[in-house]
Amino acid sequence: MNLLDRLVGSSDAGRRADAVLADWLGEPRGRAQSRLRAGEVTVDGGTVAKSHRLRSGQRVRVAEPAPTDVPTPGPVPVRYEDADLLVIAKPAGLVVHAGAGRRGGSLVESLAAMGIPLADPCAPHEAACPTGRPGIVHRLDRGTSGLLVVAKTVAAHQGLTALFKAHDVERVYTALVDGVPHPPQATIDAPIARSLTQRTRFTVKPGGRRAISHYDVEEAYGRAALLAVRLETGRTHQVRVHLAAVGHPVCGDRAYGATASLAQELGLDRPALHARRLAFRHPVTGRWIAVDEPLPADMARASDALREATDVASEHPVD
């Protein structure tokens, strides 16, 4: 199975293979060079050196790497827990469950190591159950930090699944984005579909699944802005895709067009996206559950640096 299958366009003709791959995959050039050395990349069916200059019309394919075993991560912070479910604060860099190219090293393994029981919604029909995903009813991207609810019982799993399907869960994200959106408050109603050329990415596309996001600029820094984004639907990569579609990608999100320079200046090595609020009616007890999570240290430092720079600029305007 291919991670990427794409034709070289005129804009990339004449460029080095490693540089083009890094841009296409949204990863460091060193990782792209490793793929080329490992033979994971073919150009018109053959392997090439990292310095190979691509030609317009060539077909570039990137194969899925062989699965690697990842050690079980340490305990994750628990923000709410009862007999049926728990809400955790997922750190950036932790995958929710093992997927292609990975074995272990996920939130599911971490919770199991903590002795937390997770619902098996497929029992007694285990053959129909997604492997490695007990208790999981929604996800956060690996690079996204913040709140996630996990089911401990089948009743909670079924109830939470129904709540998410009916869009009856309040989810609010904080996003640090390139530039300042105008207007400062808006609704993005744009369908999302999987990319035809890069299967790990998504795009706004007619005929895709309806997706609705509401954003509000909370702080504007000139070069960047801090947004509150409330999801009305919950498509894969929805916040990232929608903000990129309106010209303001999440800072540090190279996969969706963010500039590398600002993220490097701010010390961000992941998309600056944080799930800050999760609220819902408990599917078993009926109790209203609302959990808020402050910004993680990396996003807080970046925001402070931008705020300070903005204050200094306002105190010393250029004539």
Bridge partners of 189?
212
Which CATH entry fits the domain spanning 167-279+295-319: 3.20.20.80, 3.30.2350.10, 3.30.70.270, 1.10.3720.10?
Answer: 3.30.2350.10
Q: What's the pLDDT tens digit per position in 268-309? A: 999 999 999 999 999 999 999 999 999 999 999 999 999 998
Residue range 100-124: mean pLDDT, rounded = 75
Burial 109-127 (b: 16+ CB within 10 A, else e): bbbeeeebebbbbeeeeee
pLDDT surpasses 90 at 102: no
Question: What's residue 74's pLDDT?
Answer: 74
Residue range 174-226, pLDDT digits in tens: 999 999 999 999 999 999 999 887 777 899 999 999 999 999 999 999 899 99
Q: CA 136 → CA 61, 97, 129, distances in Å?
A: 32, 8, 11
Taking residues 165-179, what's their average pLDDT?
A: 97
pLDDT score at 127: 40
Within this chain, domains 67-166 and 167-279+295-319 share the same CATH topology: yes
Q: Tell me how far apart the alpha carbons of residues 178 and 59 are, in angstroms, rounded to a whole number.
A: 32
pTM, two decimals, is 0.76
DSSP class of 12: T
Output the pLDDT for position 315. Answer: 57
Residues acting as catalytic residues = 141
When mean pLDDT is compared across 143-147, 183-187, 243-247, 258-262, the lowest value belongs to 258-262
Annotation: CATH topology of 2-65: 3.10.290
pLDDT in tens, 21-64: 988 887 778 888 989 998 999 999 999 999 999 999 999 999 87
pLDDT band at 78 (very low <50, low <70, confident <90, very high): very high
Worst-scoring range by mean pLDDT, 2-16, 33-47, 115-129, 146-160? 115-129
Domain residue ranges in the chain: 2-65, 67-166, 167-279+295-319
What is the architecture, at CATH level 2, of domain 67-166? 2-Layer Sandwich (3.30)
- pLDDT for residue 317: 57
